[in-house]
Amino acid sequence: MKKAKRKPGEKRSQIAAMPIRHAADGSTEILLVTSRTTRRWIVPKGWPMKGLKDRDAAAREAYEEAGVIGRVSEKPAGRYTYWKRMNDHFALCEVKLYLLEVEQQLDSWAEQHQRDLHWFTLADAADIVDEPELSTAIRKLDMQLAIAA
C-alpha cells in the first residue's frame, strides 16, 4: 500500500505531553526535555501511534523521553504549530498538548542518555522554549491552573 503524498504546506499531526507536578510551595512546575538533534527545550512529543488514543500516545512519549508516569488529560489542554527539521526539509506540524499529572519519575528510562530534562516553573519554561506558540500554551496553562485553584 502506497503512502498518500502530502500537499506542500499541509500540516502533519503530532501529540505531546505537558508533564506537571506541584512543588512544595504550591506552585506548578513543568518537565521539559531537550530535543535529540538541536538540543532545544521542548515537551515530550512524537507522532500519533497506531492502536493508541492520542492521549495514551502522549503519555507513552513522556514515559520514553522523560521517564515519567502519571494521569493524562482526556482532552487536549492546548495546541501549537512549529516547523520540524527533517533530514532534507522542514515539515509544518500541529501538536496536540495533553496535560500529564506526574505521579512517578523513574530512575532509568529509554531515552535518558539521549536527552537532558529539567523541572521548570511555568514562567521559566514559557521563556526558555523556542516555539512561540508552545510558550503561549504554557502561559495559558499557568492561567488555567490559577483559575482552577
Residue 6 counted as domain residue: no
Residue 90 lies in a domain: yes
pLDDT (tens place) for every residue of the chain, 149 residues total: 444 455 656 789 999 999 999 988 888 999 999 998 889 999 999 999 999 999 999 999 999 999 999 999 999 999 999 988 877 878 899 999 999 999 999 999 999 999 999 999 999 999 999 999 999 999 998 777 766 55
Q: Which domain holds residue 76?
A: 12-148
Q: State how many domains the chain has.
A: 1
1 domain residue, yes or no:
no
Residues 129-144 have pLDDT tens digits of 999 999 999 999 877 7
> Does residue 118 form part of some domain?
yes
Q: How many CB atoms lie within 10 A of CB 128?
A: 14
Q: What is the DSSP letter of 48?
A: -
* Contact call for residues 92 and 12 (beta carbons, < 8 A): yes
| Phi, psi of 4, deg, nearest 5 | -70, 135
CATH number (domain holding residue 43):
3.90.79.10
Round to whole Å and give the CA distance between 23 and 114: 26
What is the rounded distance in angstroms from the CA atom of residue 146 to the CA atom of residue 149?
5
**All cell numbers assigned to 55:** 492521549
